[in-house]
Structure 1
Amino acid sequence: MAGTTSRKVAARNAPARKRATRRVSKLKPAEVVELFERLKWLNPKPTTELEFSTPYELLVAVTLSAQATDVGVNKATRRLFPVASTPQQIAALGVEGLKPYISTIGLYNTKAANVVAMAQQLIEKHGGEVPRDRESLEALPGVGRKTANVVLNTAFGEPTMAVDTHIFRVSNRTGLAPGKTVRAVEDALLATVPPEFLHDAHHWLILHGRYVCKARKPDCPQCVIRDICKFKDKTPGKPT
């Protein structure tokens, strides 16, 4: 009977132990500053890899980038923007006219409908201009919180934090801003990142996640913040 009871207690405690092993200790304030100092040293003026020349072009590009790569979006917008780069021109194209330009991008049917509806709403409610407030941006077809954050930060210089899969991964792995949800990580980053780094933090983190702290096999030996990072399963360097 005692053995059965012990097994039950062990089983009951197992999930807690499993969760504990996944918990990442949070970076100290001095470590956070050092992390961003190093990322800044590597890339003093980071920006998005999406190609754009106006806030509207950025809005369209970010909308198209959902579940697509920046490289793929850039290939499409290089064909599209010389032909239609304003809400009026996109609205004039219409959904069927827009599709051929973005057909290489995933979910292009839905995205075409959203981009045209967005253009029409910008014309009707905002005089063809991209609004500079979150509420108006998120009210546009196809625009969620992440897209609004990117536009506010990159086009208008607001200190927002757009959390995608790369930033979510880096924030949790490193201990910079651990969180179970995208919004939790966003809030944690806004509370953790020093003001002097906040404007560029989104770009530094997304680029670090895209090229160094990769999902399947992070390139820890080449990581400039390896000694600060709290990730326990760092990949080893090549034997010498």
Structure 2
Amino acid sequence: MAKPRSPKGRAQRTHERLKDEYEAVCELEHRNPFELLVATILSAQCTDARVNATVPGVFAKYPDAEALASADLDDLEELVHPTGFFRSKARNLQGMARRLLADHGGEVPTSLKDLVKLPGVGRKTANVIRSVAFDLPGLPVDTHVGRLVRRLGITAEEDPVKVELALNPMIPQYERGDFSLRLILHGRRVCSSRKPACDDCVLNDFCPSAFAA
């Protein structure tokens, strides 16, 4: 099979190959959009494994926006302490819950515009919620996604928003979330930051960065 020559061609070939390698799953444990929102806010600069170990205690005590909005802040800080930056994360969680109650009847909104107005929620988190919780178009760009698409020559952009906007036209809109999830899994398991396992990579026949180290 000929190598794809354009960024769009490389994006589409990547999408096709990774479909055969990974089930598109979010590794943050959650049972509903609210829990995913809490977990995603806590995942900033923290591993999914640590978040997953932390959130059961949070959800047991604060299962919904109403409970979280009235949480004792010191108690909330103690609960989320293992995820790092616990003071700012606790404030963001409580602020998010209060905004949900004030503006959305305690429910997580679906629109990007409304999501990014919530404390602690940027475009990446909003896209996670849209794509994972609601099956809506959304392409979260984390460090793995950004690293892989640059290595693959799909885009040279560094800014996550610019990366997202460059990728969106290349991937069918309702498959963007799955594309992101599979890139994240591939980045964690094969195309790591320091020592990518190019010998084990299903993209090595067209990746311009393959075996470069």
Structure 1 counterpart of 2:115: 137
Find out whether 1:200 has 2:200 as its counterpart: no
Find out whether 1:188 has 2:166 as its counterpart: yes
**Code of the aligned partner of 2:19:** K
Whole-angstrom distance in 1 between the partners of 2:114 and 2:11 = 33
Specify which of 126, 129, 150 is matched with residue 128 of structure 2.
150
Structure 2 counterpart of 1:125: 103
1:55-66 correspondence to structure 2 within 5 Å? 55-66=33-44
Checking the alignment, whether the CA contact within 8 Å between 1:177 and 1:192 is kept in structure 2 is: no
Specify which of 17, 40, 56 is matched with residue 78 of structure 1.
56
Instruction: Using the TM superposition, give the Cα deviation of residue 195 of structure 1 relative to its aligned residue in structure 2, in angstroms.
Output: 4.8
Instruction: Using the TM superposition, give the Cα deviation of residue 228 of structure 1 relative to its aligned residue in structure 2, in angstroms.
Output: 1.7
**Code of the aligned partner of 1:174:** L
Structure 2 counterpart of 1:102: 80
Task: Output the TM-score relative to the length of structure 1.
Answer: 0.81
Checking the alignment, whether the CA contact within 8 Å between 1:26 and 1:177 is kept in structure 2 is: no
Unaligned runs of 5+ in 2: none
Instruction: Using the TM superposition, give the Cα deviation of residue 180 of structure 1 relative to its aligned residue in structure 2, in angstroms.
Output: 3.0
Query: Deviation per CA, 1:4-34, whole angstroms, max 9, x where unpaired?
Result: xxxxxxxxxxxxxxxxxxxxx9645444333
Structure 2 counterpart of 1:33: 12
Whole-angstrom distance in 2 between the partners of 1:217 and 1:71 = 21
Checking the alignment, whether the CA contact within 8 Å between 2:150 and 2:156 is kept in structure 1 is: yes
Query: Using a 3 Å threshold, how does the CA distance of structure 1 residues 127 and 197 change in structure 2: closer, same or farther?
Result: closer
> How well do the aligned residues superpose, as a CA RMSD in angstroms?
1.8
Find out whether 1:229 has 2:207 as its counterpart: yes
Instruction: Using the TM superposition, give the Cα deviation of residue 194 of structure 1 relative to its aligned residue in structure 2, in angstroms.
Output: 4.1
Unaligned runs of 5+ in 1: 1-24, 236-240
Whole-angstrom distance in 1 between the partners of 2:17 and 2:135 = 22
Query: Using a 3 Å threshold, how does the CA distance of structure 1 residues 163 and 28 change in structure 2: closer, same or farther?
Result: closer
**Code of the aligned partner of 2:130:** L
Structure 2 counterpart of 1:11: none
> Radius of gyration: which is bigger?
1
**Code of the aligned partner of 2:209:** F
Query: Using a 3 Å threshold, how does the CA distance of structure 1 residues 104 and 93 change in structure 2: closer, same or farther?
Result: same
Specify which of 14, 25, 28 is matched with residue 47 of structure 1.
25
- Which secondary structure state, in structure 2, belongs to the residue aligned with residue 162 of structure 1? coil
Task: Output the TM-score relative to the length of structure 2.
Answer: 0.91
Whole-angstrom distance in 2 between the partners of 1:120 and 1:70 = 25
Runs of 4+ in 1 over 6 A off after TM superposition: none
Greater mean deviation of Cα atoms: 173-182 or 99-108: 173-182
Instruction: Using the TM superposition, give the Cα deviation of residue 177 of structure 1 relative to its aligned residue in structure 2, in angstroms.
Output: 2.9
**Code of the aligned partner of 1:211:** R
Checking the alignment, whether the CA contact within 8 Å between 2:57 and 2:79 is kept in structure 1 is: yes
Instruction: Using the TM superposition, give the Cα deviation of residue 94 of structure 1 relative to its aligned residue in structure 2, in angstroms.
Output: 2.8
Identical-residue share of aligned pairs (%): 39
Whole-angstrom distance in 1 between the partners of 2:152 and 2:88 = 36
Whole-angstrom distance in 1 between the partners of 2:9 and 2:96 = 43
Checking the alignment, whether the CA contact within 8 Å between 1:36 and 1:197 is kept in structure 2 is: no
Instruction: Using the TM superposition, give the Cα deviation of residue 97 of structure 1 relative to its aligned residue in structure 2, in angstroms.
Output: 2.1
**Code of the aligned partner of 1:177:** T
Structure 2 counterpart of 1:5: none
Checking the alignment, whether the CA contact within 8 Å between 1:122 and 1:130 is kept in structure 2 is: yes
